[in-house]
Amino acid sequence: MFHKEGYKIMAFTAIFLIAINMLSYSFIPTYWIRFSILVVSVILFLLIVQFFRNPKRVTQLSDIHIVAPVDGKVVAIEEVYEKEYFQDKRLQVSIFMSPLNVHVTRHPVSGKVVYSKYHPGKFLVAWHPKSSEENERTTVVVKNNLIGEVLYRQIAGALAKRIVNYAEVGAEVVQGSDSGFIKFGSRVDVLLPLDTPLSVELNQKVKGGISVIAKTEES
């Protein structure tokens, strides 16, 4: 299964590569050069296709669990001052996505979208300390009845040129459902209350919609 954001890119890539190979077979007499172009074309197309894969995920819905919004590796767990929405200190969990990871963004909790904003910006590498504030990004806040407000931020990286965000203010969303996509992009930050008990550690690999990154106490 592939994500809908990839259909046009995959189709354009296929047409372009087919045209390149037809031209090579028409105008390049040397067999090994034609064959090399074909091999490179196949590898390139497979890389594009795998990037837009969208595997089916079954999220175990829970109002006391916060699930990872994306596939990747936990690269930062730190206390930060969140100045865009909360304007106070929060616990930030940052998940980095390599080009080989699934790039679908999923809602970490169920609830109502109370904030959703796009910010144009730079394309610093995703692990740069200032990427959270200076890169192209979107910020979404979902209010859950039990957990409260959870903020997650899609952040573009050096190769990311478009962030897709489906979260609209006022919408009721379900934990683990599709909330967006980062095309060739690279990082998502989740910001939680400082006293939130975490279920992940640095360098741990997580799966979007499946892995629990934090668990709150039932009130």
Write down the pLDDT at residue 157: 67
- 58: in domain: no
Task: Name the residues annotated as catalytic.
Answer: 186
Both 9 and 79 in one domain: the answer is no
Write down the pLDDT at residue 219: 44
For the segment 168-200, what is each residue's pLDDT rounded down to a tens digit?
Answer: 999 999 999 999 888 765 789 999 999 899 999
Q: How many CB atoms lie within 10 A of CB 43?
A: 10
Residue 35 DSSP one-character state? H
d(CA 178, CA 70): 10
- 127: in domain: yes
d(CA 148, CA 111): 9
Write down the pLDDT at residue 184: 64
- 146: in domain: yes
Residue 155 belongs to a domain with what CATH number? 2.70.70.10
Give me the domain span that covers residue 91: 65-215
- 57: in domain: no
Both 20 and 120 in one domain: the answer is no
Both 43 and 75 in one domain: the answer is no
Question: How many domains, in total, are found in the chain?
Answer: 2
Write down the pLDDT at residue 133: 63
For the segment 35-63, what is each residue's pLDDT rounded down to a tens digit?
Answer: 999 999 999 999 888 878 888 889 999 99
Where the chain has pLDDT below 70, the residues are 121-134, 157-161, 184-185, 217-219
Both 26 and 71 in one domain: the answer is no
Both 118 and 194 in one domain: the answer is yes
Both 23 and 125 in one domain: the answer is no
Both 81 and 104 in one domain: the answer is yes
Write down the pLDDT at residue 129: 54
Write down the pLDDT at residue 132: 60
- 172: in domain: yes
Write down the pLDDT at residue 126: 52
- 59: in domain: no
Query: Where does residue 166 fall: left (phi above 0), alpha (psi -120 to 50 degrees), or beta otherwise?
Result: alpha
Both 88 and 190 in one domain: the answer is yes
Both 178 and 76 in one domain: the answer is yes
Q: pTM, whole model, 2 decimals? A: 0.82
Nearest to 167 by CA among 158, 182, 177: 177
Write down the pLDDT at residue 7: 86
- 60: in domain: no
Both 13 and 82 in one domain: the answer is no
Write down the pLDDT at residue 158: 58
Both 98 and 198 in one domain: the answer is yes
Write down the pLDDT at residue 213: 96
Write down the pLDDT at residue 53: 85
Structure tokens at 212: 């629990």
Both 43 and 69 in one domain: the answer is no
